[in-house]
Structure 1
């Protein structure tokens, strides 16, 4: 495996950096800052945060260079940026304002989508209403009130197998409605 001239130059700069050479640090900074910033911005898309993250990576490189055995400076820097962005995203906390904005966002962007959704919902609930009374009761207990099949069987004093059959029948009827609508 050939070592590129860039990697050899980086290795020399790292050795100088470990000796506390500020000019080596400046050379690394000048060589990589723009590329790291562009990389960070593609991931996060916030100028100030990206600048801060790049600065943190370089501060960490300067302060801890003696503690690390860096084989490939470029890979190390890009991985450091990626990890810091991931940590930043993980540590984001929503404020009440963020939650209000999220909660106020309208679910549908296009009125036709809302209309289609409402028609589908209406059709499904209409099909549920048309189920035979016992089938409808069992289906609603299962799907709307989250009862287990065993709980329904005990409540209605029927077998668990009967509950399963009724739910299966209800689902088949609803699916047939959906199949006919598409």
Structure 2
């Protein structure tokens, strides 16, 4: 026999308070982990829609982990989908540029090396590095967003640079 819950997520005021409490953190988590290209706002909304659809099955104390896990899975599915789309585009697309085939091959090899090098970074290093180099955030801003010390941010970014230099000799 299932224990009757005092609080039910299906009650609008409880659902609203969960949304207000966790939506911004969830967006930030997705944005810094996956970037802005995969529409993290949409995935936050979809995660909360799934929470609402399953509100009677999920206790309020598990709501945060449910939406974070759901949104993360939605983003991973989107990443996999984008890889398929990109692969399809690459097979269909014929190179129509003025660049020499040798240059295009070198450029492609370099991009592959860079992508593999970024994948070899730890998630913590990759997040800090991308926030600094791609988004142009300062160490202090990154430290505040990730809730770590400035020294920890420095260590992550410098560690990422060392790994990248080792993996890619051209840097």
Bin of the TM-score, shorter chain as denominator length: 0.3 to 0.5
Q: TM-score, normalised to structure 2's length? A: 0.45
Q: Work out which of the two has the higher radius of gyration on C-alpha atoms and give 1 or 2.
A: 1
Q: TM-score, normalised to structure 1's length? A: 0.43
Whose helix proportion is higher, 1 or 2?
1
Higher relative contact order (CA 8 A, sep 6+): 2
